[in-house]
Amino acid sequence: MPTFYQIALPVPRSAPFTYASDVESIGVGSRVLVPLGRRVVTGVVVKAEAAPFDNARSIIEVLDDEPAIPPALLHLTQWISSYYLCSWGEALEAALPTGLTPTSVFYAEISAQVTDAELDAMSRKAPKRAELLAYLQEHDGPQRVDHLQKELGTSSIAQQLDALQHQGLITVITKVERERGPRTVRAVAIDTALAADEPRLHALFDELDKRAPKQSLALGHLYIAHRNGNGATPLTALANQLGVSVSVIDALIEKGLATVSEVARPRDDDPFDVLLAPRDEATVELTPEQRTALQAIEDVLQRQGDRFQPFLLEGVTGSGKTVVYQRAMQRTLELGRSCLMLVPEIALTPQLHDRFRAVFGDRVALLHSRMAIGERIDTWRKIRRGDVSVVIGARSAVFAPLANVGLIVVDEEHEPSYKQDDPAPRYHGRDTAVMRAALEQCPVILGSATPSLESLQNATETRYHHLRLTHRADTAQLPTVRLVDLRQERKAGRLKGTLSSPLLDAIRDRLRRSEGTILFLNRRGYASAIQCEDCGAAPQCPNCDVSLTWHKTSNTLACHYCGHREARSTACTVCGSLELHEAGVGTQRVEEDLRAALEGTGAVIERMDTDSMNRRGAHRRLLQRFASGDVDIVIGTQMVAKGLDLPRVTLIGVVNADQTLYQSDFRASERTAQLLTQVAGRAGRDPQRPGEVLIQTSSPDHPAIAEVLEHDRGYHRSFIGTELAQRREAGYPPFSRFMTVEINGPNEAEVEHVARVIDRLLPTDHPAMQRYAPVAPTIARLRNRYRRLIVIRSPKQSDPNGSICRGLLSAALLSYYTSYAVSTVRVTVDVDANGSV
């Protein structure tokens, strides 16, 4: 008699499926392989002993001896499914690293060759089919279907595949890509029979000492390892240790004197020594404000029963928030519990990892989505086994399978990068961390020098316990801030490209004093566009409604949305004019201007953006060189704007403060003030070397710019009060929630039709839902898919937790999928769009 199980699958809009198995006790939270249509996918058991189902298909394989997903994460992903309107399976897929969710993959390969004439005839009747067939004939072996779709620039080739298969020209096969096991290395040990035969062993050593002394040395080492019970030794490591070649050890194996095996070798979390911890923070004496904050947190940690309590730790830059985190974590570990810390930028993890490893040793692990797949899987397994007790990572680390979580920390809680945009689930890392803390019944610390208005409002409403650090630690002073009015600099002719004379003078002064400088501009590339001076045209991405960004170092035009690249033309592609100029400025342009201005000074200049930091370990190597003085100036995007604690940095230059100020986003002022305050805080961390910040702007009187001048008093209350008053009057977050419904597809008319259908299905007059008519967003076409947006606002006064609005939206979408769905059109929902809470 089979047992029935409910399995959550990574399929949009679906409830768990029922499958049967002869295995009587598959643990809830275990991964299983199941058939789904023509595919095989990985699902997670969410309910055992489900009700029998007549047509239930059978589970193919159980992948776990022990459940991969602990109970707390099961509950968390179920909440994500309900709150963010995605399937439970999609949420569970996000909780597992890539490589732990095997699935079937379709491949296509040629089964019969066609002539050029036949291909030409096909191209006239069925050009897409002919293009696919030509590609397969030009490439040997099976080709992944998803790769073919990418190469051919289309979202689906199903019809072409079916037609070619029906003609007998190709074969479509399915393979299940298995999960990656632990990384293995060759290991060697002395033959056990030889090790037990001492007379033979001594004679052998005498012989090898004369004929092959290096082999004798290696064999002796293996014998000692055997006597000490150390087991097999990694072959390459042994060769390096003894200073011999691998062939020496291979010779022992060929003679039967040693045996070889494959052993698992976990990847190191970090292949470097501790280099970026500025000081021994385990013994730093706390300031009175730090002690007060820590005491409030420790009181909750030591509480019996439910210890859930959100803390908003607001501290000026350099006030020692990280030290408070560490002390709270130390107390948590002493109580036998584990700790989770989220950071917004992967660039922050090397230094934070070093700082925390200096305090906690090897109990710290890094976990983020930019790690190599195998490395991330190994780290995930270490966490699941309980080999580490402190996990630091970016947004996705909120799903780290830690047991007995006692404290969660969200550093720089205001950062918009905590919000997942695509794919589903479109969750907010900060809010998900707060929910996980509630499920784990532990405190959560939300730290920031510039808290989000949502968190400040939660503190005002006493949902969060507000802790403040108003002074820098170690007697260091906040940097002085000066504004450089670009309007006056232009009129006086004092601009050297993108850099003003006051900024260049300050940089030269730091070079003379061997101090570090950071220049900040939140746009990579050389220019945001190349524009024709005669007709005004700019090269456009063929897949998206955006101008291509010029990258001068590679002389290519690139789309930062879909990845399209093309060579730069010397003439306008519309009118043929040769009069082209660069519009907008990126980090490459700033680097060029700076090198020209500092020519002959010997200054070492580096960039820190996603173009220059795309190799493994690049962040760490640059930070190490910068900290040691081998690099004088770093030009960077938001990677340099937060979290870095480098005492030799005394100057921050903001190349263009207006860049984010006038974006079509109601948060533009808030985020500009946050970003400028954060980047300014990188200067003056050493009490003996005061810091200075120069902000280049054409809007020196704007409240968000003026806010940074007031940063010596913390996040300025008048600015916050004004912003909150404007938001309340407009009905914007934090006094409401925004949700967006995006409709996209390859055919613009179909997209427009579906948008109108969904618009009509939504309530027109409900206090919990105020919707706006469908509109084309700023980028109306993305990756060859046309887009429409329906924006929904849910006032918190009418719907405090948003459940009524989500219910109304779910009902409308159910009606759409039941009666009106168009197969080529995708509908996605973003709850708390733009990170609103």
Nearest to 44 by CA among 84, 125, 119, 100: 100
CA distance linking residue 297 with residue 492, whole number of Å: 55
* Confidence grade of residue 273 (pLDDT, cut at 50, 70, 90): very low
pLDDT for 269 beyond 50 = no
**Do the Cβ atoms of 233 and 187 come closer than 8 Å?**
yes
Under 8 Å between Cβ of 48 and 19: no
- pLDDT given for residue 607 in this prediction: 93
For the stretch 175-231, pLDDT in tens is: 776 666 666 788 899 998 998 898 898 899 889 988 899 999 999 899 888 888 877
Q: What are phi and psi of 723, to 5 degrees?
A: -60, -45
Q: Is the pLDDT of residue 662 over 90?
A: no
Most confident of 131-145, 542-556, 796-810: 796-810
Q: Is the pLDDT of residue 711 over 70?
A: no
Q: Given this model, what pLDDT does residue 271 score?
A: 44
Place of tokens 């405190």: 443
- Torsion angle of C-alpha atoms 524, 530, 533, 538, degrees rounded to 10: -120
* HSE-CB of 394 using CA atoms within 13 angstroms: 18
- On whether the CB atoms of residues 129 and 117 are closer than 8 A, the answer is no
pLDDT of residue 715: 56
- In whole angstroms, give the CA distance from residue 803 to residue 805: 6
What is the DSSP secondary structure assignment for residue 307, as one 8-state letter? -
Peptide bond into 734 cis (omega under 30): yes
For residue range 17-72, list pLDDT tens digits in order: 999 999 888 999 999 999 998 888 999 999 998 888 888 999 999 998 899 999 99
Q: DSSP assignment, residue 490?
A: H
Measured distance between the N- and C-terminal CA atoms of the chain, rounded to whole angstroms: 48
Contact in structure between 518 and 623 (CB atoms under 8 Å): no
346 pLDDT above the threshold of 60:
yes
Whether 699 contacts 676, CB under 8 Å: no
The residue assigned the tokens 């699902």 is: 43
pLDDT tens profile 388-416: 999 999 999 999 999 999 999 999 999 99
Residue 736 Rama label (left phi>0; alpha psi -120 to 50; beta): beta
**Measured distance CA(832)–CA(603) in Å, rounded:** 46
Cβ neighbours of residue 621 closer than 8 Å, sequence gap 6 or more? none
Q: How far is CA 740 from CA 84, 748, 757, 777, 800, in A?
A: 11, 19, 15, 11, 18
Q: Which pLDDT belongs to residue 181?
A: 61
pLDDT of residue 178: 63
> Which DSSP string do the residues of 757-821 spell out, in sequence order?
HHHHHS-SSBTTBEE---B--SS-EETTEEEEEEEEEEETTT-TTSHHHHHHHHHHHHHHHHHT-
Alpha helices (runs of H) in 598-667, residue ranges in sequence order = 618-628
pTM score over 0.85: no
Alpha-carbon distances of 678 from 123, 475, 652, 655, rounded to whole Å: 57, 19, 11, 15
CA–CA distance, 358 with 37 (Å, rounded to integer): 51
Higher pLDDT, 454 or 624: 454
219 forms bridges with which residues in the sheet?
none
DSSP string for residues in 744-775: EES-HHHHHHHHHHHHHHS-SSBTTBEE---B
With a pLDDT cut of 90, the percent of the chain lying above it is: 55
